[in-house]
Amino acid sequence: MTTTTLSASAAANAARRGSAAGRIALITGAWLTFALFLLLPLYVVLSEALKLGFGTFFTALVEPDAISALKLTLLAVGISVPLNLVFGVAAAWCVSKYEFRGKSILVTLIDLPFSVSPVIAGLIYVLLFGAQGFFGEWLQERDIQIIFALPGIVLATVFVTVPFVARELIPLMQEQGTQEEEAARLLGANGWQMFWHVTLPNIKWGLIYGVVLCAARAMGEFGAVSVVSGHIRGYTNTLPLHVEILYNEYNHVAAFSVASLLLALALVILLLKQWSEARLSRLKSAGDEE
Amino acid sequence: MSRRISPVIPGFGLTLGYTLVYLSLLVLIPLGAMFVHAAQLSWDQIWNIVSAPRVVAALKLSFSTALCAAVLNGVIGTLLAWVLVRYTFPGRRLIDAMIDLPFALPTAVAGIALTALYAPAGLVGQFATALGFKIAYTPLGITLALTFVTLPFVVRTIQPVLADIPREVEEAAACLGAKPFQIFRHVLVPALLPAWLTGFALAFARGVGEYGSVIFIAGNMPMKTEILPLLIMVKLDQYDYHGATTIGVLMLVVSFILLLLINLLQRRIERP
């Protein structure tokens, strides 16, 4: 070995110098991967949408079916995100503030929907509430429609987005511990006062981060919603399903126009995510310095 | 149940109760209902469904493409995480922010965009055509779509671990005469492997179940490019609930066994 003749620091310098060429190669590789995998698809969506000019682009967006799909998507997001927000806070609260047997199983169960295919998420509700399902007859007698209607779409959306808020909050709240809450209690705050004035300000950015991720998935969910929606145009079509229908009708320009609307929403979500993440890490580093 | 309740913090019963009821009603009971439905079938019926050539072909395709995509992500993801953590260069923050695009972008949008890109006449596909092969409408196209939608998993699990490894450790190894590959093999790989496996498992599980981004680029030819989730969809459209349910259960069981194996492997690595 040459180490016997080289001083240790010279070896370290040589290693650094040797890595300069490797470094440029790796950075170039990362840029190429980024451009090829992430930028090109974005470019394709926009260029296909604007192929026939801005006129056709806007026509596809203001068409009544597109508008009703947008409304349905917003409605489904508007119902499912708050549900999972409340669940996420409750779940993170009991997991992070107390010790109890079976906690790790509970955490695994909270994450379970992530490893279930969205198509299965739709299927299980069809088995329960569909015409042939366990509650099918009972629902039919009472004229309640769940599958091929809004409740089914909301259920499927809620299922696939269950873990998002809880997942962000659990590590954050575990790190923060219980001292501040205990202090608030000892100073005479009741349960709600403690939650609103102590816990909530502490978890605010993690909560926003989780909600942003949850909303992104809820807005774009396709497989699960596709199973339960029945694809009734103007009634049970969400935006992603509307994209599919237009695409399968070979109406590619309209499909990509609606897709670019979803793309714009996705970019807004990325910005919001970046912003809440930055606030979160600033909060954490401030905490570390204390 | 033995538990240690923090004496002054209220809400244990309320929050645990709410969590359990919510999870049971929305996740556990519906999933259980699928297993109950499948349990009503005899073993012969179940075997007939899962041994049908079309189901076997879809099973192989789904798991092999998800595996390839997860491995591909293991390489690309490690490269991206490494570059983002270790180097400062123009565009670093942009790339870092955009890594999450596949999670934010609806899968149907990813699906049609990738199809347009990799179709025989598409922006990238035309080069493949010139070289005499196809990307879209083949397993290769499915793998690429899965790689796209699962790209963030490996990057995001490795990034924090990599940031925590002090550079001095590598420098010390270099001073002791280790060559770059030896440093990689003996210093970085052991430190990164648990996180890498987590990212790999997440990407794999997501890839097996993925539907939206794949159905556009797959071409969906039975026996050739038909994935398992699509087959469930096809059975449902034919009102074949037994078939759909059995395939669903099969998919969940195989996925869980594989995730369990990855989990065990991870524990062995973490506690040698």
The arithmetic mean of pLDDT across residues A25-50, rounded, is: 91
CATH topology of domain B34-270: MetI-like fold (1.10.3720)
Residue B5: per-residue pLDDT: 52
Mind listing the pLDDT tens digit for each residue in B225-251? Answer: 999 999 999 998 888 999 999 999 999
Is the Cβ–Cβ distance between A262 and B109 less than 8 Å?
Answer: yes
Mind listing the pLDDT tens digit for each residue in B190-222? Answer: 888 888 998 999 899 999 999 999 999 998 888
Six-digit token string for A23? 């470094």
Enter the pTM of the model: 0.89
Six-digit token string for B131? 């070289």
The arithmetic mean of pLDDT across residues A156-172, rounded, is: 93
Is the Cβ–Cβ distance between B47 and B243 less than 8 Å?
Answer: no
Nearest to B108 among A213, A244, A273 (CB): A244
The arithmetic mean of pLDDT across residues A97-101, rounded, is: 88
Q: Which sequence spans correspond to the domains of chain B?
A: 34-270
| B197 touching chain A per CB within 8 A | no
Residue A242: per-residue pLDDT: 93
Indicate the average pLDDT of chain B.
Answer: 89
pLDDT band at residue A6, thresholds of 50, 70 and 90?
Answer: very low
Q: For the ranges A19-23, A281-285, B2-6, B235-239, which has the lowest average pLDDT?
A: B2-6
Contact A127 B175 (CB under 8 A): no
pLDDT band at residue A1, thresholds of 50, 70 and 90?
Answer: very low
Residue A5: per-residue pLDDT: 45
One-letter identity of residue A43: Y
Distance CA B241, CA B220 (A): 21
Question: CA of A277: which chain B residue's CA is closest?
Answer: B97
Indicate the average pLDDT of chain A.
Answer: 87
The arithmetic mean of pLDDT across residues A195-212, rounded, is: 90
| B202 touching chain A per CB within 8 A | yes
For residue A78, pLDDT over 60 is answered with: yes
Residue B6: per-residue pLDDT: 55
Mind listing the pLDDT tens digit for each residue in A125-153? Answer: 999 998 888 888 888 888 888 888 899 99
Point out which residues pair with A162 in neighbouring strands: none
DSSP E strand boundaries for A52-167: 99-100
Give ipTM to 2 decimals.
Answer: 0.88
Mind listing the pLDDT tens digit for each residue in A184-203? Answer: 888 888 888 899 998 998 89
Distance CA B93, CA B114 (A): 25
Contact A100 B245 (CB under 8 A): no
The arithmetic mean of pLDDT across residues A219-238, rounded, is: 86
Is the Cβ–Cβ distance between B174 and B140 less than 8 Å?
Answer: no
Mind listing the pLDDT tens digit for each residue in B156-189? Answer: 999 988 888 887 888 888 888 888 778 888 888 8
Which residues on A lie below 8 Å from B152 (Cβ)? Answer: none
Q: For the ranges A252-261, B145-154, B189-198, which has the lowest average pLDDT?
A: B189-198
Nearest to B180 among A15, A113, A247 (CB): A15
Q: Give me the torsion for CA of B86, B88, B93, B99, rounded to 10°.
A: -40
Residue B3: per-residue pLDDT: 47
The arithmetic mean of pLDDT across residues B53-73, rounded, is: 95
Distance CA B174, CA B182 (A): 9
Distance CA B59, CA A57 (A): 40
pLDDT, greater one: A50 or B272: A50
Residue A12: per-residue pLDDT: 53
For residue A182, pLDDT over 80 is answered with: yes
One-letter identity of residue A135: F
Is the Cβ–Cβ distance between B222 and B54 less than 8 Å?
Answer: yes
Six-digit token string for A220? 């774009």
Residue A186: per-residue pLDDT: 86
Which residues on A lie below 8 Å from B91 (Cβ)? Answer: 31
Distance CA A209, CA A203 (A): 10
Contact B26 A178 (CB under 8 A): no
Most confident stretch, A2-11, A80-89, A112-121? A80-89
Class of residue B244 by CB neighbours under 10 A (exposed 0-12, middle 13-18, buried 19+): buried
Point out which residues pair with A99 in neighbouring strands: B4
pLDDT, greater one: A233 or B168: B168
Mind listing the pLDDT tens digit for each residue in B97-144? Answer: 999 999 999 999 999 999 999 999 888 899 988 898 899 899 999 999
Nearest to A109 among B5, B23, B82 (CB): B23
CA proximity to A157, closest of A121, A112, A205, A183: A121
Six-digit token string for B174? 């270099």
Look-up: residue for tokens 């797959």?
B218
| B83 touching chain A per CB within 8 A | yes
Q: Say how many Å lie between the first and final Cα of chain A, rounded.
A: 48
Distance CA A54, CA A57 (A): 5
Distance CA A29, CA B83 (A): 9
Q: For the ranges A11-25, A259-273, B175-189, B212-226, which has the lowest average pLDDT?
A: A11-25
Mind listing the pLDDT tens digit for each residue in B5-26? Answer: 556 688 888 999 999 999 999 9
Three-class secondary structure of residue A178 per DSSP: coil
CB-based contacts of B112, cutoff 8 Å, min separation 6: A45, A243, A247, A255, A256, A259, B216
pLDDT band at residue A9, thresholds of 50, 70 and 90?
Answer: low
The nearest CA of chain A is from the CA of B110 a distance in Å of 7
Mind listing the pLDDT tens digit for each residue in A238-249? Answer: 999 999 999 999
Distance CA A265, CA A70 (A): 12
For residue A58, pLDDT over 80 is answered with: yes
Class of residue A101 by CB neighbours under 10 A (exposed 0-12, middle 13-18, buried 19+): exposed
Is the Cβ–Cβ distance between A259 and A220 less than 8 Å?
Answer: no
pLDDT band at residue A3, thresholds of 50, 70 and 90?
Answer: very low
In the 3-class helix/strand/coil scheme, how is chain B assigned residue by residue?
A: CCEECCCCCCCHHHHHHHHHHHHHHHHHHHHHHHHHHHHCCCHHHHHHHHCCHHHHHHHHHHHHHHHHHHHHHHHHHHHHHHHHHHCCCCCHHHHHHHCCHHHHCCHHHHHHHHHHHHCCCCCCHHHHHHHCCCCCCCHHHHHHHHHHHHHHHHHHHHHHHHHHCCHHHHHHHHHCCCCHHHHHHHHHHHHHHHHHHHHHHHHHHHHHHCCHHHHHHHCCCCCCCCCHHHHHHHHHHCCCHHHHHHHHHHHHHHHHHHHHHHHHHHHHHHCC
CA proximity to A156, closest of A101, A117, A212, A198: A117
Residue A4: per-residue pLDDT: 46
Three-class secondary structure of residue A290 per DSSP: coil
Mutation to test the A interface, candidates B29, B62, B105, most A Cβ within 10 Å: B105
